[in-house]
Amino acid sequence: MKIRTVLLNTAMYGGVSLLVLAATYLVDLWLLPSNTGLSPTDALFVEGIMFLILGLLLLLGRGGINRVSISAAILASEAEAIYGRDIVGPNEILRQDAWKARGFTRTALVLIFSGLLMILAYFLSLR
């Protein structure tokens, strides 16, 4: 991959993350009145932690193995345990599924960057 493409993608994720940070902070300012015990910057810290956890969970998804293959592998291992002889095992079934990164990789990266920026903004606002 070219270095220009990597830098462009990183700048794009950073820009989208800054937009998410600004939108989240504005929503916190609008929804949290000043007389509550939770200030908008404290809410930003909690949301940053939640964004980090959600982003990591989305990034560590199934990895492209679909449900049909998982259930077929489970059935094959059960049949192998019951009958005790060599049949098509779970390794052969899962080997047929090529590992492809699917799903929410970009969303996970944006959530992780946003969470890091929210936590950074919280610590920068402390006096």
Q: In this predicted model, what pLDDT tens digit does every residue of 65-109 receive, in sequence order?
A: 566 666 766 776 666 666 666 666 555 555 555 544 455 778 888
Residue type, 73: A
For residue 23, CA distances in Å to 5, 13, 49, 77, 108 come to: 27, 15, 16, 49, 18
Cβ proximity of 110 and 15 under 8 Å: no
Instruction: Give the range of the structural domain holding residue 99, as residue numbers without chain letter.
Output: 3-125
Q: In this predicted model, what pLDDT tens digit does every residue of 3-43 receive, in sequence order?
A: 888 888 888 889 999 999 999 999 988 888 777 778 888 89
Burial class of residue 100, CB neighbours in 10 A (0-12, 13-18, 19+): exposed
Counting Cα atoms < 13 Å in the Cβ hemisphere of 89 gives: 6
CA 88 – CA 122 distance, rounded (Å): 54
Tally of domains in the chain: 1
